[in-house]
Amino acid sequence: MISFVQLSQTKYIIVLSNKIVLILSGGMDSFTLLNHALSKDYEVHCITFDYGQKHIKEIECAEAISKENNLTHIKIKIASTESIFLNSALTSEEVKVPHGSYHEQSMQTTIVPNRNMLFISHAIAYAISNQIDQVWYGAHAGDHFIYPDCRPEFLSAMNVVAQTCHTFPISVEAPFLNLTKAEIIKIGLELGVDYAKTWTCYEGQDVACGKCGSCNERLEAFEINNFIDPLSYNI
């Protein structure tokens, strides 16, 4: 965690930093990642994105989580995304959220094109402005099958860019990249995470549907850990 802070055009100082920018969606993975970071005594700056998602309740969760933990938190609205995210079930009213497992072909409609690159790019800009040298996001192994921007090769490529896009290098980290959802929940339960404060369902309702891929993965992960999900479901 070494940052290079420019004093002039030719002179730099090296700063040992314990600060990170964490992309906090309000879901289970990013909330667990936040608690993991706090347990390691990082100073966390949270950033949440409104990209026109139906499940806007996750933004409310992110805001509440940040406020409760007295964390620096900003919300960024990605403007004019309707035209580029048009065919995603997470953003379009014309495309229904598919139900079932993430291993079904129908889940392809939940891809939001290039979403994580947009998020990480904004987070890097915020990190640079605040002389922070790490950006974290909550990609995990369960995402690899369906989402290209959660795979190891994407993370590696983003790091190549982040290391060279400014006068000091930025590191993009996904500490849970090789963990399953169940393994992430196990970490969270050991940390005492209250998952009632999170939101996972892709449907834009007040109560989780319990049928979409996101809900199914969440419920299965709790079952593997022999723990009852504290959320209510419409099933």
Listing DSSP states for 154-200 in one string gives: HHHHHHHHHHHSSSS--EEE-TTTT--HHHHHHHHHHHT--GGG---
pLDDT category, 8, cuts 50, 70, 90?
A: very low
Most confident range (mean pLDDT) of 4-13, 18-27, 161-170 is 18-27
Residue 52 in any domain: the answer is yes
Q: Which domain holds residue 39?
A: 2-224
> Each residue of 157-197: pLDDT tens digit?
999 999 888 888 999 999 999 999 999 999 999 999 999 99
The answer to whether residue 103 scores a pLDDT higher than 60 is no
- Residue 168 has a pLDDT of 87
The answer to whether residue 216 scores a pLDDT higher than 70 is yes
34 touches 22 (CB < 8 A): yes
Top-confidence residue, 123 or 168: 123
The count of structural domains within the chain is: 1
> Each residue of 220-230: pLDDT tens digit?
999 999 999 99
Lowest mean pLDDT among 104-113, 144-153, 184-193: 104-113
Q: What's this model's pTM, rounded to 2 decimal places?
A: 0.81
The answer to whether residue 156 scores a pLDDT higher than 70 is yes
Residue 231 in any domain: the answer is no
Domain CATH code at residue 190: 3.40.50.620
Residue 127 in any domain: the answer is yes
3-state secondary structure of 221: helix
Listing DSSP states for 42-96 in one string gives: -EEEEEEEESS-S-THHHHHHHHHHHHTT-EEEEEE-TT-TTTSTT-TTT-TTSP
- Residue 117 has a pLDDT of 87
Q: How far, in Å, are 46, 73, 167, 208 from residue 67 at the CA level?
A: 10, 8, 32, 23
Residue 233 in any domain: the answer is no
pLDDT category, 13, cuts 50, 70, 90?
A: very low
Q: CA 54, CA 76: separation in Å to the nearest integer? A: 16
pLDDT category, 235, cuts 50, 70, 90?
A: confident
Residue 232 in any domain: the answer is no
Q: How far, in Å, are 13, 48, 110 from residue 114 at the CA level?
A: 35, 16, 12
Residue 109 in any domain: the answer is yes
63 touches 73 (CB < 8 A): yes
Q: Please report where in the chains the tokens 């100073």 appear, as a residue.
A: 43
> Each residue of 61-71: pLDDT tens digit?
999 999 999 99
Residue 229 in any domain: the answer is no
Residue 230 in any domain: the answer is no
